[in-house]
A = this chain, B = another copy of it.
Amino acid sequence: MSDVAARAGVSHQTVSRVLNGHPHVSPTTRTRVLAAIAELGYRRNLSARVLATGRSNVVGVVAQNTTLYGPSSMVQAIGEAALGADLSLTVGHIAGYDATAASRRIVERLVQQGAAGLVFIAPVDAAAEAMRLVPPGIPIVTVDGLPEWQVTNVSVDQHAGGLLATRHLLAHGHRTVWHVAGPEQWHGSRAREAGWRAALAEAGVQAPPMLRAGWSAASGYQCGRMLARIPDCTAIFAANDHVALGLMRALAEHGRRVPDDVSLVGFDDVPEAAYFHPALTTIRQEFADVGRQALRLLLDQLVAGTRTAASALVEPILVDRDTVAAPRRHQDAPQRQEAPQPREAPQPQEAPQRQKVPQPQEALPRDRSS
């Protein structure tokens, strides 16, 4: 910086003023300084700046399972929003599911780095523990956190999602709705389950036993192998879209057609859900919206200078596609089970009127993979 000052024939302080856009700098010196900066290829040292000012404009994000669609979408959205707010982002990626030690290290580092604020993507309790390590002065926002943590939180209303899915299935005339839930540790799983139970209760039907899956197609497949053997099971609410995919495969292998024999609702609305076979009816979570709101709430705290306990809920929406139909008449079902040709096609063109082009304007903007 003093090199620049020397070259421009001014003091270092004037250079600093130019750099920070302070007033009381004459246009001529400003251009002279700017020219010197350009000629020397000078870049200000952010560490020194942080040291001198005591504040930084970096926001830390603590996330796990960032290969999953939800977390990665949210991190991406937070990143974009941060860029817009002229903040820089440091993302700490926690490996694996249980990760208290890893998250502790990450938080520790983020704090030492002087992060101005922290966003915890905390769909499981592990992340909450590390939150204690954050000095009270620095603002926090959780995503998918728990209200009892008493910090600003934003999440999708998972309970409403469970309600939506279950009601949708019941409205088509199903006696009851089965549920393949996600991992127990995830808050979202529990809330969706609660929503499912609530919808069942309000319809006055008893909840069938619940199955537990991971988030993967593989675990959905395992659950599906069980459910396919239960003739009474005509409607399933799946933990997420990939679990639904695994379910569909298992059902197909057992000759149970979707949606003719069993109806299915997923969760998330991953971009490819519209192209499953058949196209998946699902509950859409607007992850990008969640990420943006998280950053906004953090920003609010940053300018206020204090932690708050505000919160935002993003409403999920039902995306109706081809995996939900009215159940077949009850007497048909056993008849079908005893049919000699057990391995039949799972409904491809049998109901051509459902064969709508899967809304390209809806699915196109969201590209995945490779």
Contacts and interface: CB of A to CB of B under 8 A. Distances in A.
Nearest to A362: B218
B73 A221 contact: no
A331 interface: no
Q: Chain A: interface residue count, which band?
A: 35 or more
Interface in A120-152: 123, 135
A41 to B, nearest CB: 8
A240 B67 contact: no
Interface stretch (A23-31, A84-92, A200-208, A299-307): A84-92
Contacts of A111: 43
A275 B249 contact: yes
A335 interface: no
Contacts of A347: 345
A51 B45 contact: yes
A8 interface: no
Interface in A245-283: 245-246, 248-249, 252-253, 255, 267-268, 270-272, 274-277, 279
Contacts of A368: 67-69, 215-217, 242
Given A272-B242, A363-B216, A370 B267 contact: yes
Contact of A67 (B73, B112, B245, B348): B73
A249 B83 contact: no
8 contacts: A43-B111, A66-B76, A67-B69, A67-B366, A67-B368, A242-B368, A245-B272, A345-B349
